Amino acid sequence: MNKKQKDQTTEQKILEAARAVFMEQGMAGARMQDIADKAGINKALLHYYFRNKNKLFEVIFLDAAARFMPRVSMLFESEQPLFDKIRAFTTTYMNMLSENPYLPTFILTEMHKQDGAKFLEKIWGGEKPPVEKLAAQVRKEAAKGIIKPINPLELILNMVSMCVFPFAAKPMAKLVFNLSEAQFKQVMEQRKTSVAQFIIDSIRK
Amino acid sequence: MNKKQKDQTTEQKILEAARAVFMEQGMAGARMQDIADKAGINKALLHYYFRNKNKLFEVIFLDAAARFMPRVSMLFESEQPLFDKIRAFTTTYMNMLSENPYLPTFILTEMHKQDGAKFLEKIWGGEKPPVEKLAAQVRKEAAKGIIKPINPLELILNMVSMCVFPFAAKPMAKLVFNLSEAQFKQVMEQRKTSVAQFIIDSIRK
DNA sequence: AGATAGTTTAACCAAATAGTTAAAACAAAA
DNA sequence: TTTTGTTTTAACTATTTGGTTAAACTATCT
């Protein structure tokens, strides 16, 4: 048996190319030939490494989904004050999104078509993040009078919405607000702190 | 020459079917045969009415895009107080989204691929909504001490984000929060008022 | 060198799918 | 009824595309 000690193994090249093509074109729009070309190999070799399009897609999709539903243990487990959690989450999450611009639309679109339960199983082993932990904290801080009462589910939805949506809507936002690429980036940079502030201003008593 | 006085003209049936299929499957995933089947006609007739897939897609896409970028004249033109505008916009917009669940992901995905300038031209005749009007009001009310100073662009982004994203992320939200269809609808119903309140709470001084 | 296991390729195949054609059915007017 | 223009269809064509095959190449070990 022999191992590749080259700069980048063929499998890595394939995965990288597949990620790029699937993210931009989606499952239906992606062409195996395009993936092969981008990886600098030919189509047969692609099928040698990944039996078919579905198998390859599944690998990419699961990896992307895992990244999109981030390690929220930070949010649910630790004993930080709520405001700190909000600040930490929004900046961390938006930093990740800056580096994965196609991730949101890709995941959202494909989630409409794939069997959700199946992927949940593979990502979290059938378990969901313990939303109840965070909910308890929200209720507790509300009782203490630190924040207004708010449905924790709505709080999370609002937070994730404001982080994700502007990236998903980037082409439209640039159009409507007449922004250059640089200007758009600048706005997103600002938002890495302003979103948390917006939320905190809303729920603080 | 003869006009159809039937319940629904063939062209209408086609457009309705095409809208449904394109919205669910996207441009790449949609099959002309499926559209024909859904319209209850055959493929050749489809091509008789719309020369090819691209032409048909363009009609659907433009109509959808126009609906997605709503008549925001309400927001930009009228002389209502800012808080009233926010309340009016969020409920109106979310009502529309409730009835067009696939609209957000469809538009966001296809916007990545289509030439934005081209569609802007067709939708607004090259003009963009006068964001400056709203910006002026935001600055004015901030000066009066009614609201905190905020970048108007960020205010709009936040507002639209919280309206749109939960619909786009519906399958994922149902999964993560363990919601039935009915429960999801209920949450969205609540949000039709709570989103505006969340924003107002944040910017009110 | 020769054998062996793993890797890569060019050429091919079969299925799916966008688009065409020519003729039949239909409706309205003459 | 006949004519005329429109609507509808079945059958066909061309192209794209996912997937296969069999042979050639490469590195490693004996």
The CATH number given to whatever domain includes residue B114 is: 1.10.357.10
One domain, residues A36 and A84: no
Distance from CA of A161 to the nearest CA of B (A): 5
| pLDDT (0 to 100) of residue B7 | 60
Helices (H) and strands (E) in chain A, counts: 12, 0
One domain, residues B102 and B156: yes
**Do residue B69 and residue A172 have CB atoms under 8 angstroms apart?**
yes
Closest nucleotide C1' to the C-alpha of B30: C17
Q: B150 and B142 in contact (C-beta within 8 Å)?
A: yes
Q: Tell me the C-alpha to C-alpha distance, in Å, between residue B142 and each of A194, B145, B152, B203.
A: 17, 5, 11, 9
One domain, residues A102 and A55: no
Q: Which residue is nearest to nucleotide D17 (CA to C1')?
A: A31
Distance from CA of B118 to the nearest CA of A (A): 11
Q: Which domain holds residue B97?
A: 69-203
**Do residue A173 and residue B190 have CB atoms under 8 angstroms apart?**
no
Taking contacts as CB-CB distances below 8 angstroms, the residues of chain B near A166 are: 157, 161
| pLDDT (0 to 100) of residue A6 | 42
Mean pLDDT by 10 residues, chain A (205 residues): 52 95 97 95 93 95 90 76 95 96 96 83 81 91 95 97 98 92 98 98 95
| Nucleotides on strand C lying under 7 Å from protein C-beta | 5-11, 17-22, 27-28
One domain, residues A56 and A75: no
Q: State how many domains chain A has.
A: 2
B159 found inside a domain: yes
Closest Cβ–Cβ partner in A111, A112, A165 for B164: A165
B5 found inside a domain: no
| pLDDT (0 to 100) of residue A5 | 35
A2 found inside a domain: no
One domain, residues B44 and B86: no
Closest Cβ–Cβ partner in A109, A162, A198 for B26: A109
One domain, residues A25 and A115: no
HEC states along chain B?
CCCCCCCCCHHHHHHHHHHHHHHHHHHHHCCHHHHHHHHCCCHHHHHHHCCCHHHHHHHHHHHHHHHHCCCCHHHHCCCCCHHHHHHHHHHHHHHHHHHCCCHHHHHHHHHHHCCHHHHHHHHHCCCCCCHHHHHHHHHHHHHCCCECCCCHHHHHHHHHHHHHHHHHCHHHHHHHHCCCHHHHHHHHHHHHHHHHHHHHHHHEC
Structural domain ending residue among the three candidates A46, A63, A80: A63
Taking contacts as CB-CB distances below 8 angstroms, the residues of chain B near A149 are: none
One domain, residues A52 and A90: no
One domain, residues A147 and A103: yes
In CATH, what number is assigned to the domain containing residue A14? Answer: 1.10.10.60
One domain, residues A105 and A194: yes
Length of chain A: 205
Task: Using alpha carbons, select from B181, B113, B119, B165 the residue that is nearest to residue A195.
Answer: B165
A89: CB partners within 8 A, 6+ apart? A72, A74, A75, A159
d(Cα B153, Cα B157) in Å, to the nearest integer?
A: 6
Q: Tell me the C-alpha to C-alpha distance, in Å, between residue B171 and each of A2, A63, B129.
A: 44, 18, 32
B177 found inside a domain: yes
One domain, residues B192 and B102: yes
d(Cα B76, Cα B201) in Å, to the nearest integer?
A: 21
Alpha helices in A8-52 (DSSP H): 10-29, 32-39, 43-49
One domain, residues A188 and A97: yes
A145 phi-psi bin (left φ>0, alpha ψ -120 to 50, beta other): left
| pLDDT (0 to 100) of residue A22 | 98
| pLDDT (0 to 100) of residue B193 | 98
One domain, residues B143 and B189: yes
Q: Which residues of chain B have pLDDT under 50?
A: 1-6
d(Cα B189, Cα B184) in Å, to the nearest integer?
A: 9
Q: A8 and A35 in contact (C-beta within 8 Å)?
A: no
| pLDDT (0 to 100) of residue A79 | 83
Q: A168 and B108 in contact (C-beta within 8 Å)?
A: yes
| pLDDT (0 to 100) of residue B55 | 93
The nearest alpha carbon in chain A to B109 belongs to A105
